Structure 1
């Protein structure tokens, strides 16, 4: 508990007694503190490092950043395997990505148990749209590309509505905007990967670096809703 103490200044009293041509200085006296000056003000200190709200934000940040890199790894593996989504390597990459989805949903469920499964079902549903985009882009199927982009846009809307129904403090449009940015940055990385552009790695990092903002928005709304510090 942080304490703030008000201290009174030290008053010095000096009296000169004149006796002819000589002078004698009296001893210095310290003025006593008044009751008001001696009061100790106490204010509660919030631990912003270890609070429930900050822990939620930190965990969401880590899991959502992992989501981007694991999605990038799964898509990259699918491209290396010529679009064959049934290979053992692709299967392992997809399994790791799905495990991450389960962890994100479990974190949300720790705050809202009834929302865990609906969140997981919704979150899982947007991942195939990135796969569809990748396959269509790699094969020159512009109609498939357009459909995947439209599907991702529709998902952003429905996900925003889902989150808002659980956490009214989070506007659906704000959540939608975060998901749209997620899609745009990850699609840019996918395009570079398909083209064999070395910029792919920087773009994937850029996509992941957006996740702290998404985590801050989600965690902030949840903290407000549940009155977490």
Structure 2
């Protein structure tokens, strides 16, 4: 495969992800760190690249699983779920094109879309109990893995070795298939556990790909590094916040449908909330973490109240839930404003939280009304929107605790293909990173067993 080099053009998505001045307030009076510009260590050109890739690749895993789930259920909104997945693919291809040129972006898209088609074939064959069709889909996914790995290895000039990429892509494939198989068998707890692992795994790939690209084009990224403690913090928050939006939207759909998987969908959302609360506790202490958990979990409860009221045709109950959500917005904004010592101003936070609530309610109302196009557009908007609190909060924390984020990670190129690097700076955020990636060890064992069983 011969790739054509082109001038790097910063994609529009990068500009859209830049934190606003209101959300990540300039606190030059707080520390020498702020005066030196170090507070922007979470928003360097390389950081924006990593976050753009993180947002799109994790969303791919989420949407792929949801589309497969809708497919096996024969759901009315399957076409719209699949269209959302296609739109996500276009976003990823646009990012590739912005670095490697339109021709290579088109080549990437053709390869990438092929594996989505093979997943659809697997779903169809499973629904029809067609073992030959299942085996054929698995064989095609095997071919895809090799071709996709070769593309990225060539594109990055072997900064990401093909063999390591193949291993990582196999994990991605196996995680999605394990999730789908568990769901199809009615093992919803396992399905949602694997779904979260699959989303997290793609966050690791975003890290590795951004490191390779930034190393390959240092001038375009002003010599900045996407793999520093500060950027790690933003990426971890980005992964958990965006996942919250997706899991909340699908749990609300399950609630409206009276789906058997509702309890497990809600359980995944609760586990995500626990991760966020642990992150807050790792920075601000256990008492603050508990307070955050109480406030954050309250808004999940109010969404459930809205779902229940909608199902019962209880307009008064819907309005009561909305009023509770309005109260939550003020309380959550005040908490974060206080915790960050004004670095995330309450008015800006209230505006952002209002958008978050409105997006999820619009997605749900549209789903119930059968307007699936609007529903999935709103889900994607909600996913993208949550990159902003991740950007603002990470900028605030790194400014608030500058001594913990002043050292870059080792510059050595990764050789794991789709994994992550360890943080050794001793800051409590190491607990967050360990927390978010602790499942990788167990999931890797399960993936290897799954792959062995399907050979």
Structure 1 length normalisation: TM-score? 0.74
Residue 207 of structure 2 corresponds to which residue in structure 1? 216
Residue 186 of structure 2 corresponds to which residue in structure 1? 196
- Of Structure 1 and Structure 2, the greater helix share is in 2
Is the CA contact 2:70–2:77 (under 8 Å) kept in the aligned structure 1?
yes
1:185 partnered with 2:169:
no
Matches within 5 A, 1:78-97: 78-81=71-74, 89-97=77-85
CA distance in 2, matches of 1:163, 1:170: 7
1:68 aligned to which of 57, 61, 64 = 61
Deviations 1:178-208 (A, max 9, x none): 2111001010000011111112122111111
Higher relative contact order (CA closer than 8 Å, sequence separation 6+): 2
Residue 90 of structure 2 corresponds to which residue in structure 1? 102
TM-superposed CA distance for 1:137, in Å, is: 2.3
CA distance in 2, matches of 1:44, 1:204: 38
Residue 128 of structure 2 corresponds to which residue in structure 1? 139
Residue 55 of structure 1 corresponds to which residue in structure 2? 48
CA distance in 2, matches of 1:176, 1:51: 30
Q: How many residue pairs were aligned?
A: 185
Is the CA contact 2:50–2:207 (under 8 Å) kept in the aligned structure 1?
yes
CA distance in 1, matches of 2:39, 2:112: 33
CA distance in 2, matches of 1:48, 1:180: 33
Radius of gyration: which is bigger? 1
Structure 2 length normalisation: TM-score? 0.38
Q: Single out whichever of 153-162 and 111-120 deviates more from structure 2.
A: 111-120
TM-superposed CA distance for 1:176, in Å, is: 1.7
Matches within 5 A, 1:139-178: 139-168=128-157, 169-178=159-168
Deviations 1:44-86 (A, max 9, x none): 979541111111111111111111111112111111217xxxx
Is the CA contact 2:67–2:78 (under 8 Å) kept in the aligned structure 1?
yes
Residues 113 and 193 (structure 1 numbering): CA distance in 2 closer, same or farther, change over 3 Å? Answer: same
Residue 35 of structure 1 corresponds to which residue in structure 2? none
C-alpha RMSD of matched pairs (Å): 2.3
Residues 146 and 211 (structure 1 numbering): CA distance in 2 closer, same or farther, change over 3 Å? Answer: same
Is the CA contact 2:149–2:163 (under 8 Å) kept in the aligned structure 1?
yes
Unaligned runs of 5+ in 1: 4-42, 83-87
Residue 432 of structure 2 corresponds to which residue in structure 1? none
CA distance in 1, matches of 2:78, 2:47: 35
Residues 47 and 177 (structure 1 numbering): CA distance in 2 closer, same or farther, change over 3 Å? Answer: farther
CA distance in 2, matches of 1:190, 1:44: 46
Deviations 1:114-142 (A, max 9, x none): 32111111111110111111222233222
SS in 2 for 1:64: helix
- Of Structure 1 and Structure 2, the greater strand share is in 1
Unaligned runs of 5+ in 2: 1-30, 225-455
SS in 1 for 2:160: coil
Residue 70 of structure 2 corresponds to which residue in structure 1? 77
